[in-house]
Chains A and B, each alone.
Chain A
């Protein structure tokens, strides 16, 4: 589902964020991406989201080579990738429902369809009763779950999470990881960037480790 072939990303100022990274994630796989801060985790996620383009090498998502993707095709790729952020990026000028509905709105889904799918996603994260509230009225863990509902509402084949449990206590973090595991069971490829080692050890999943832009563990194809 996600393939990196010899991917290097260099920023202008001699700063090399990624060096010849190789790995492949299959459909339905849940993997962690870890490393000290500045090791290139965010850069790697940005390459998948086409927020950045690699300096060298090839990034392939869902069989689509992203290097040669024209700019105006980028939105259509992003519709197939759900993203969860540490600071969840919710909009506080609208309800929980409207926040979750955004990915469907940009796709031009009908109101009936939107209602059905948003409620299904909110139900999945256990927030169905709070759809009419403003995200500001919710706790940190709940806000994060709204972010997750928004990321999965259009059933993307790929789900990325950047430090999704950064601000949460261990119990809430475990809840959220459990949600991610559920998504991977229904075929979603999930990649979670985190430095929460305890959490990674608990889950016992494949872990990609970055060290100064190089993949030092978990590379290649899964199972190898």
Chain B
């Protein structure tokens, strides 16, 4: 019992000390990261012209593909806007009676892809035609109503794509009573095909420019490594791990990325502001709701994070290539 009561207060104390030690280590590790991050930033600020030039190069390289992607997504918005008004017009055969047309309308409406069906009966259609065309007298000469029953089909929202609408058209025109189906998909398909091609081209461009950014940062960081050769040697000599030696350069790359991302964002916002007037006017002429969309907060954040990752990657490439070459063996001389 006596040993127990003595041992007990000791154990938690040991555990506490261990935990405190771990806590200390974590704190000093984080403190070290903070210090290295701040130090890398200060180094960039001490060479403002060189840093600004790297930021500008990165900014331009990133702004170009992002601006194109924004433009394309705005174009896709246009076609989406058109699709929301897309309707399929199905003309029934002349010999279909009104009751059969009614049943057909219900049958089509029951399809999952269809939001609603409106039946325009031939008498009603003639009435409208008479009213709108001004051919009142001419129509009186006709013995029969030349117009068929017509179904106006509105697709379900999820089906309002070029492929979806086409599928629905195939379904409707497959019906026996339906003589002709009309939907103006041509220009929509062309626009979609075009934006598809442009989107892919833009991604290729983005990849190439992203690669260029990595190389630019890699080269810049390589110079930084050369400038700090002595420091790297000493750090390796006193037992700095590879991670320790790499860290300042990886932060340097990330800071280059941060600056490049901000510059890219500024360039994009500036171009949008400059383009918005003419685009509004053009859209007004076409009575279109087309508008160029900006990046928004999420987009800007994403852009900056991607830029930082690219910078980090570039630094990593340089560090991998050049840092491992610096070995303290050469210090000691012959």
B163: interface (CB < 8 Å): no
Question: Of all chain A residues, which has the CB nearest B238?
Answer: A103
| Stretch in B27-35, B71-79, B263-271, B298-306 with 4+ CB within 8 Å of A | B27-35
The answer to whether A46 touches B28 (Cβ under 8 A) is no
The answer to whether A51 touches B327 (Cβ under 8 A) is yes
B185: interface (CB < 8 Å): no
Q: Which chain B positions have C-beta within 8 A of A106?
A: 235, 238-241, 244
Most buried by A among B24, B28, B334: B28
The answer to whether B233 touches A89 (Cβ under 8 A) is yes
The answer to whether B28 touches A83 (Cβ under 8 A) is no
Q: Which of A42, A46, A80, A102 contacts B235 (CB 8 A)?
A: A102
Mark contacts of A104-134 with chain B using CB atoms, 8 A cut-off: 1 yes-contact digit, 0 otherwise.
Answer: 0111111100000000000000000000000
The answer to whether B231 touches A89 (Cβ under 8 A) is no
Query: Distance in Å from the Cβ of B245 to the closest Cβ of chain A?
Result: 9
Q: Which of A38, A80, A85, A93 contacts B331 (CB 8 A)?
A: A85
Q: Which chain A positions have C-beta within 8 A of B328?
A: 49, 51
Query: Distance in Å from the Cβ of B39 to the closest Cβ of chain A?
Result: 10
A80 to B237, CA, bound (A): 11
B135: interface (CB < 8 Å): no
* Contact count band on A: 20 to 34
B186: interface (CB < 8 Å): no
| Stretch in A61-69, A70-78, A181-189 with 4+ CB within 8 Å of B | A70-78
A129 to B236, CA, bound (A): 28
B333: interface (CB < 8 Å): yes
The answer to whether A93 touches B231 (Cβ under 8 A) is yes
Q: Tell me if B's interface is mostly helix, strand, loop or mixed.
A: helix
Q: Which chain A positions have C-beta within 8 A of B236?
A: 75, 78
The answer to whether A108 touches B28 (Cβ under 8 A) is yes
Q: A51-B329, A91-B231, A105-B32 are in contact. Are A38 and B238 (CB under 8 A)?
A: no
Question: Of all chain A residues, which has the CB nearest B230?
Answer: A91
The answer to whether B241 touches A75 (Cβ under 8 A) is yes
Most buried by B among A51, A106, A107: A106
A85 to B328, CA, bound (A): 12
Q: Which of A80, A102, A111 contacts B234 (CB 8 A)?
A: A102
Q: A91-B230, A91-B231, A102-B235 are in contact. Are A162 and B240 (CB under 8 A)?
A: no
B179: interface (CB < 8 Å): no
B138: interface (CB < 8 Å): no
Q: A42-B332, A42-B334, A51-B329 are in contact. Are A78 and B238 (CB under 8 A)?
A: yes
The answer to whether A78 touches B239 (Cβ under 8 A) is yes
Q: Can you identify 24 A-B contacts, CB atoms within 8 angstroms?
A: A37-B334, A42-B332, A46-B329, A46-B332, A51-B327, A72-B242, A75-B236, A75-B239, A75-B240, A76-B241, A78-B237, A78-B238, A89-B230, A89-B234, A91-B234, A102-B240, A103-B239, A105-B32, A106-B239, A106-B244, A108-B25, A110-B28, A110-B31, A111-B31
Q: A42-B332, A75-B240, A89-B234 are in contact. List 11 more A-B contacts (CB 8 A).
A: A51-B329, A51-B332, A52-B329, A75-B242, A78-B239, A80-B239, A89-B233, A102-B238, A105-B32, A110-B27, A111-B28
Q: Which residues of B contact A (CB under 8 A)?
A: 24-25, 27-29, 31-32, 230-231, 233-242, 244, 327-329, 331-334
Closest 4 CB pairs of A and B: A79-B239, A78-B239, A106-B240, A103-B238
